[in-house]
């Protein structure tokens, strides 16, 4: 059987969390949902042994990563950046290539600024990008909707937290399946 090449594969996938920081999160649409779904993604990646990266945009001004997300990330260190796109975050894209990562799952804020520019740059560099619609946000709904449309029009896959977790599982009946199923309930 031939499977669609856009289906995520654990061995070549990473999660990238973009700039979910304390001082800006409160003015986003659905901040609680973004945090909850981001934590589910982090926990799911831990279960599935998939690498997780996260960035902070100008932390001196925007603060640190939201505390619940930071707790889920454990001792991981943020990739600091000043550019809107994560393409300007040091060697991040080169690190993906060195590790054989071709598929990037994206969550974060703001949809129409840092998320969108990162997605477009990843696509331009021949990565597959899966944008998690229920784990990104903007201050205004029109910016969120327009960004989703633009990213998808340029080749990004738009999906949801639960969908991507089950896609990475591939099969049911395993201990991983049971653990992930508990996350999404």
52-110 residue pLDDT tens: 999 999 888 888 999 999 999 999 999 999 999 999 988 999 999 999 999 999 999 99
Residue 1 falls inside a structural domain: no
List the catalytic residues: 19, 81, 114
Quick one: pLDDT at residue 166? 95
Which of 38, 16, 19, 51 shows the shortest CA–CA distance to 128?
16
Domain assignment present for 120: yes
Reported for 91-96, long-range contacts at CB under 8 A and 24+ positions apart, including other chains, are 92/53, 92/55, 93/121, 93/122, 93/125, 93/127, 96/14, 96/127
Domain region containing 43: 10-184
**How far is it, in rounded angstroms, from Cα 21 to Cα 166?**
27
Express each pLDDT in 108-145 by its tens digit: 999 999 999 999 999 999 999 999 999 999 999 999 99
Q: Which residue has the tokens 């070549």?
A: 12
Q: What confidence score (pLDDT) does residue 45 get?
A: 97
CATH number of the CATH domain containing 37? 3.40.50.850
Please tell me whether the overall predicted TM-score, pTM, comes out greater than 0.75 for this model. Answer: yes
Residue 144 lies in a domain: yes
């Amino acid at each position: 059987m031939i499977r669609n090449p856009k289906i995520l594969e654990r061995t070549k996938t990473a999660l990238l969390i973009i700039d979910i920081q304390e001082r800006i999160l409160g003015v986003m649409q659905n901040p609680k949902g973004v945090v909850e779904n981001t934590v589910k993604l982090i926990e799911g990646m831990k279960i599935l042994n998939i690498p997780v990266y996260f960035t902070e945009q100008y932390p001196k001004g925007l603060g640190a990563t939201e505390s619940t997300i930071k707790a889920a990330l454990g001792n991981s260190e943020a990739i600091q950046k000043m550019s809107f796109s994560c393409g300007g975050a040091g060697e991040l894209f080169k690190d993906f290539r060195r590790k054989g990562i071709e598929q990037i799952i994206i969550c974060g804020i703001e949809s129409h600024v840092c998320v969108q520019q990162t997605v477009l740059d990843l696509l331009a560099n021949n990565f597959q990008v899966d944008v998690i619609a229920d784990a990104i946000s903007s201050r205004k709904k029109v910016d969120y909707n327009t960004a989703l449309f633009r990213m998808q029009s340029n080749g990004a896959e738009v999906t949801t937290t639960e969908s991507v977790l089950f896609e990475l599982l591939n099969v049911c009946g395993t201990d991983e399946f049971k653990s992930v199923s508990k996350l999404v309930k």
